[in-house]
Amino acid sequence: ITKTSGVNSGFGVLISSAESPGGTVLQIAQLKERREKRRKQQEELRKAKEGVDDSQWDIMQLTDRIEAFRKDCRQQVVETPDISIEGLEGNNDNMRIRVCVRKRPINETEIANNNIDILTTRTATYPNAQIHIHEPKTRLDLSRDIETHSFGFDNVFDEKASNKDLYASTVAGLVEGIFQGGKVTLFAYGQTGSGKTHTIFGSPTEPGLFHHIAKDIMLLCAQSLSDTTGPLPTLHLSFFELYGPQIYDLLNSRTRLTLLESPNPKDPIYIQNLTSVPIPTVNLAEGLEKLLALIAEGFKSRSTGSTQANSHSSRSHAVLQLTLKNPTTLRPLGKFSLIDLAGSERATDRGPTTSLTTKWESSEINKSLLSLKECIRALHQHKPTGVTARRKSGTGKHIPFRGSKLTHVLRDSFMGRGNRTVMIACVAPGMRSCECTLNTLRYAGRVKGYGGMVNSKG
């Protein structure tokens, strides 16, 4: 046996005997080298699969073809399909589940990088609310073509729609319901950079959905103050984050919280010690100012409490809840929950170079987004009709809310007759987001259970 100690027993020491410890070192080095090579190849393969190989595309030709489609589309009258889809008929405000798509405007970087807009929208309501995605494809014979996939939703919002427009067509009609004990839950779904945070929280120039909702709740409170003599419900704000199975209080220095189940059927699940701040409702300006300050504080603790502040928000779900409470018992009456979901691109495995933490995060996000889809689908399919169903409603149907912490926490919002769910699927217009956008549209379509897809043609 060749002695290696005392000379150089590190990698790279060449010793002929395979049985010797040095031989093992050599084998390890070779294995490592092969592994690195394999990883490199897989990474290249993944990149090739993931991105559209736009270097081969004539951008002008692509743009012209998409433009021709758009022109055609503007002239077409979409006929009402001869099918009846549960939940889509009737008064919009009675829709238990509403699934909408929002396309964000193309930005400077995308324009500069020839990352062209491949989305054509047809706004309006179903079945005329459609979105078409023009997927650049390379055929087996290496010729290039565009495949257009078309999807129908309850609403499709184009890049010109403001948060106020979105508010008016999706949730404005549901605000009053929370005064009767109803619960409304709104999810923003989509890949990172598709506009989820812009939709819910807004930007310095444009107030988000939460702002419009809070404002209308406050106005309704002021109205009931003049209409009734009884005590007014009080408005409370909670803001927390879900990172895997962990819950963090964003209004209390990101303290870790626990989810508890109580035997009380009226309040079966609650987060212990979750901060709930009363918001003044009589003076609108004062109430909104307090709300904004609290949310800003929450955002600050969200980013400073984590190690990688920049990408943290794409790896966790942020939940903002506006709850109306009985002023004497402080028991929750109705509730509005807004959820800025983790980036959906995280739900796909990023290949062999992914670190263990990232793999864990991806699997947690995947689990929660799948379970969210299953819960909404179950809700929709078990839509109660008639007296028996009404009696059963809230307890009789099986909603798989235990599938993830996200759905477990929101259990009470999924149950009960007066509850409403709205999903806004956010999509980026760029060609290089094609795969993510297709995944988002398919996910959103399946949530409603009718597939979403209208047709797909070359």
Sign (positive/negative) of CA torsion 254, 259, 262, 267?
Answer: positive
Pairing of strands 255-261, 119-122: unpaired
Quote the Cα angle for 240-242-248, to 5°.
50
Q: Which of 77, 80, 65 is nearest to 148 (CA)?
A: 65
Say if residue 407 carries a ligand binding annotation: no
Q: Give the Cα separation of 56 and 62 in Å (integer).
A: 11
Q: Does 148 bind Mg ion (CB under 5 A)?
A: no
Task: Choose from Mg ion, ligand ADP, none: what does 193 bind? Cβ within 5-8 Å by kind.
Answer: ligand ADP
Binding-residue pattern over the window 281 to 320 for ligand ADP, x denoting contact by CB under 6 A: ---------------------------------x------
* Residue 197 touching ligand ADP (CB under 6 A): yes
Binding segment for ligand ADP among 35-43, 124-132, 179-187, 193-201 (CB under 6 A)? 193-201
The binder of Mg ion chosen from 155, 170, 197, 371 (CB under 5 A): 197
- We find the least distance from the C-beta atom of residue 6 to ligand ADP, in angstroms, to be 56
Task: Tell me the closest approach of the beta carbon of residue 160 to ligand ADP, in angstroms.
Answer: 9
Enumerate residues 6+ apart whose C-beta is below 8 A from 86. Answer: 380, 383
Other CB atoms within a 10 A radius of the CB of residue 109 amount to 9
- Beta carbon nearer to Mg ion, 122 or 196: 196
Q: What is the DSSP letter of 93?
A: G
CA distance 335 to 343: 25
Instruction: Return d(Cα 452, Cα 166) in angstroms, integer.
Output: 20
Residue 119 amino acid letter:
L
Distance of CA 430 to the CA centre of its chain: 18
Asked if residue 160 binds ligand ADP (CB under 6 A), the reply is no
Of the ranges 12-20, 190-198, 365-373, 446-454, which one interacts with ligand ADP (CB under 6 A)? 190-198
203 binds ligand ADP (CB under 6 A): yes
Residue nearest to ligand ADP (CB): 195
Q: Does 185 bind Mg ion (CB under 5 A)?
A: no
- Single-letter residue type at 155: N
CB of 311 to Mg ion, least distance (A): 10
Residue 125: CB atoms within 10 A of its CB come to: 15
- Subset of 416-445 contacting ligand ADP (CB under 6 A): 426
Q: Is 195 annotated as a binding residue?
A: yes
What does the binding site for ligand ADP look like in residue numbers (CB under 6 A)?
104-105, 190, 192-198, 203, 314, 426
Binding site for Mg ion (CB under 5 A): 197, 313
Which parts are annotated binding residues for ATP? 190-197
Binding annotation? 190-197
